[in-house]
Amino acid sequence: MFGWAVTFLIVAIIAGIFGFAGLAGTAAWIAKVLFVVGLAVFLVLLVTGRRPPAV
């Protein structure tokens, strides 16, 4: 999940550099949402003591 957040953050930065404000804003918003969801999942797993399945 954090990998996707970083990917969208990079897309937002590149889109911002090239002047695509709408795309940059949307990608940044998606990156924020994915980061918060990933953080929430991490905290829930940390509190419950479970480990995510091995990939």
Comparing 1-5, 10-14, 16-20, 21-25, the range with the smallest average pLDDT is 1-5
**For residue 12, how many other CB atoms are within 10 A of its CB?**
21
Model confidence pLDDT, tens digit, residues 30-54: 999 999 999 998 898 888 887 777 7
Mean pLDDT of the chain: 88
Distance from first CA to last CA of the chain, Å, rounded?
Answer: 13
Q: Map out the domains of the chain as residue ranges.
A: 2-35
DSSP states along the chain = -HHHHHHHHHHHHHHHHTT-HHHHHHHHHHHHHHHHHHHHHHHHHHHHT--PPP-
